[in-house]
């Protein structure tokens, strides 16, 4: 029985993870559910899933949950950031699903890695921010990190076992790999007239053609910043050079990514666009369990198509690829700027097309000294957020 902590339990990945656990109750037990402020959702999850612990990072939310949870529920309610690090590191925990959205996921995810836990990594922003530090921590503790992000999970499944066992340090060239083909749908605005983008609303941006996801990642898909973050995520997980990584637009999201080998072979992982597949794969690796996802019906799929990315339509993608080439300081700045600009867009304080402008200005203007510690990363993240907020206030 694997004892699990779900970071981001009230979110979209949290729900898919709980659904996979529900399909396999004999193999997994929920030690702790973690969220920030969503008391209604956490209350419902506690009643349904009866975790040993429910952790609300926000202290007021924890207090409210304590008041609302029946006294005999058997669920202990905890709060606090340091307490969360202790929770994921506890000897009671085998596996941590890292699915908090954004930079807020960095510290608990890293704490789980440092404690040598099996980490199922959905929170791409933590790797984008901490890159080499994350990979070094993994190596030092022996933590097994498995990629939940559908593309990285597909790449992982399409690589040989020797590479799967050496995540972060693998030698793609040595394994005969010529390219990783990172697929992306192009989001809801793939074919919208370019001059309509500036008036797109949060509701339109969050209406992804294939996936049901949280609001931040949905906007990132619409700008293709999601693919940019994934490009950086792939760089770290698979130890790639820029030449080894290509982005391919595949509007149907049926192929979840591919690996092209020296001999001309291309291996891919396909499936219906449902995160329960990569989640189940990570939870049971190297075995296979029932995810609850319908088998892919090729007759219903019909056509699969592919396009080159258009950087005029998707400037955030080129910003991310350039930042990745520049180094970790640039990717930390870009991630922080993007979290602020996307949040402002979602609050109707910024036009859709201003997201890329704010991100680019931050990359050009925030001074970047070299990052050698977690404190440096957090300081650069904080400095960028402040600068991005100042820029937005002037618009």
Ligand X SMILES: CC(=O)[C@@H](O)[C@H](O)COP(=O)(O)O
- How deeply is 42 buried, as exposed, middle or buried, from its count of CB atoms within 10 A (0-12, 13-18, 19+)? buried
Report the alpha-carbon angle 259-262-265, nearest 5: 55
Q: Which of 10, 126, 143, 150 touches ligand X (CB under 6 A)?
A: 150
Q: What track of x and - describes contact with ligand NDP for positions 47 through 86 (by CB under 6 A)? A: ----------x-----------------------------
Please list, in sequence order, all residues whose beta carbon lies within 8 angstroms of the beta carbon of residue 187, skipping any fewer than 6 positions away. 205, 208, 209, 221, 222, 223, 224, 226
Is 13 annotated to bind ligand?
A: yes
Q: Nearest-CA neighbor of 55 among 27, 17, 96, 94?
A: 96
From the list Mn ion, ligand X, ligand NDP, none, pick the one residue 131 interacts with, judged by a Cβ distance below 5 to 8 Å according to partner type: none
Q: Which of 10, 17, 291, 359 touches ligand NDP (CB under 6 A)?
A: 10
The span from the CA of 390 to the CA of 340, in Å, is 11
From the list ligand X, ligand NDP, Mn ion, none, pick the one residue 214 interacts with, judged by a Cβ distance below 5 to 8 Å according to partner type: ligand NDP
Report the alpha-carbon angle 230-248-153, nearest 5: 45
From the list Mn ion, ligand X, ligand NDP, none, pick the one residue 122 interacts with, judged by a Cβ distance below 5 to 8 Å according to partner type: ligand NDP
User: Would you count residue 184 as binding ligand X (CB under 6 A)?
Assistant: yes
Q: What track of x and - describes contact with ligand NDP for positions 24 through 43 (by CB under 6 A)? A: -----------xxxx-----
The span from the CA of 337 to the CA of 236, in Å, is 21
The span from the CA of 217 to the CA of 188, in Å, is 13
Identify whether the C-beta of residue 126 lies closer than 8 Å to the C-beta of residue 134: yes
**267 half-sphere exposure, CB direction, 13 A CA radius:** 15
Q: Which of 202, 211, 368, 374 touches ligand X (CB under 6 A)?
A: 211
From the list Mn ion, ligand X, ligand NDP, none, pick the one residue 187 interacts with, judged by a Cβ distance below 5 to 8 Å according to partner type: ligand X
User: Would you count residue 11 as binding ligand NDP (CB under 6 A)?
Assistant: yes
Smallest separation, CB 106 to ligand NDP (Å): 10
Is 230 annotated to bind ligand?
A: yes
Identify whether the C-beta of residue 222 lies closer than 8 Å to the C-beta of residue 186: no
| Count of positions on this chain that bind ligand X (CB under 6 A) | 12
* Long-range contact set of residues 282-285: C-beta below 8 Å, sequence gap at least 24: 282/120, 282/146, 282/147, 282/148, 282/153, 283/2, 283/17, 283/20, 283/21, 283/24, 283/28, 283/95, 283/120, 284/24, 284/27, 285/146
Please list, in sequence order, all residues whose beta carbon lies within 8 angstroms of the beta carbon of residue 324, skipping any fewer than 6 positions away. 228, 231, 232, 235, 242, 330, 331
Smallest separation, CB 222 to ligand X (Å): 8
Q: What track of x and - describes contact with ligand NDP for positions 169 through 208 (by CB under 6 A)? A: ----------------------------------------
> Measured between alpha carbons, how far apart are the two ends of the chain, in Å?
54
The nearer residue to ligand X, 156 or 387, going by C-beta atoms, is 156
Identify whether the C-beta of residue 329 lies closer than 8 Å to the C-beta of residue 303: no
Smallest separation, CB 211 to ligand NDP (Å): 6
The nearer residue to Mn ion, 149 or 274, going by C-beta atoms, is 149
| Count of positions on this chain that bind Mn ion (CB under 5 A) | 3
Q: Which of 141, 192, 211, 285 touches ligand NDP (CB under 6 A)?
A: 211
Is 357 annotated to bind ligand?
A: no
Identify whether the C-beta of residue 106 lies closer than 8 Å to the C-beta of residue 125: yes
CB atoms within 10 A of CB 349: 13
Smallest separation, CB 254 to ligand X (Å): 11
User: Would you count residue 149 as binding Mn ion (CB under 5 A)?
Assistant: yes
Smallest separation, CB 388 to ligand NDP (Å): 18
Segment 224 to 243, residues that bind ligand X, using CB under 6 A? 226-227
Smallest separation, CB 124 to ligand NDP (Å): 5
User: Would you count residue 221 as binding ligand X (CB under 6 A)?
Assistant: yes
From the list ligand NDP, ligand X, Mn ion, none, pick the one residue 10 interacts with, judged by a Cβ distance below 5 to 8 Å according to partner type: ligand NDP
- What residues make contact with ligand X under the rule CB under 6 A? 149-151, 184-185, 187, 211, 217, 221, 226-227, 275
Give the annotated binding-site residues.
Answer: 10-13, 38, 123-125, 149-151, 185, 208, 214, 221, 226-227, 230
């Amino acid at each position: 029985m694997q004892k699990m902590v779900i970071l981001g339990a009230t979110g979209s990945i949290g729900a898919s993870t709980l659904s996979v656990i529900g399909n396999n109750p004999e193999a997994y037990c929920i030690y702790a559910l973690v969220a920030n402020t969503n008391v209604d959702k956490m209350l419902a999850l506690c009643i349904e899933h009866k975790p040993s612990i429910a952790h609300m990072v926000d202290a007021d939310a924890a207090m409210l949950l304590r008041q609302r949870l029946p006294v005999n529920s058997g669920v202990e309610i905890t709060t606090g950031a340091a307490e969360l690090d202790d929770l994921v590191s506890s000897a009671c925990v085998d596996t941590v699903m890292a699915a908090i959205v954004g930079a807020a996921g960095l510290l608990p995810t890293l704490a789980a890695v440092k404690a040598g836990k099996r980490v199922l990594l959905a929170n791409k922003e933590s790797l984008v921010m901490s890159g080499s530090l994350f990979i070094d921590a993994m190596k030092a503790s022996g933590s097994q990190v498995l990629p939940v992000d559908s593309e990285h999970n597909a790449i992982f499944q399409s690589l040989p076992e020797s590479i799967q066992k050496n995540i972060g340090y693998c030698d793609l060239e040595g394994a005969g790999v010529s390219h990783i083909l990172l697929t992306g749908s192009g989001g809801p605005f793939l074919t919208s007239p370019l001059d309509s983008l500036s008036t797109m609303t949060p509701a339109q941006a969050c209406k992804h053609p294939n996936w049901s996801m949280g609001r931040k990642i949905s906007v990132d898909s619409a700008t293709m910043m999601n693919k940019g973050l994934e490009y950086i995520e792939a760089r770290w997980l698979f130890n790639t050079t820029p030449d080894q990584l290509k982005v391919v637009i595949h509007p149907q999201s049926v192929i979840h990514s591919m690996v092209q080998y020296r001999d001309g072979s291309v291996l891919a992982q396909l499936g219906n666009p449902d995160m329960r597949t990569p989640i189940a794969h990570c939870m049971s690796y190297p075995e296979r369990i029932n995810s609850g996802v319908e088998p892919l019906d090729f007759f219903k799929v019909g056509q699969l198509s592919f396009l080159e990315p258009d950087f005029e339509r998707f400037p955030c993608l080129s910003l991310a690829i350039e930042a990745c080439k520049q180094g970790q300081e640039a990717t930390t700045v870009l991630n922080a700027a993007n979290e602020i600009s996307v949040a402002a867009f979602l609050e109707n304080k910024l036009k859709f097309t201003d997201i890329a402008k704010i991100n680019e200005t931050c990359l050009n203007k925030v001074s970047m000294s070299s990052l050698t510690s977690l404190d440096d990363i957090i300081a650069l993240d904080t400095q960028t957020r402040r600068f991005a907020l100042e820029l937005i206030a002037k618009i």
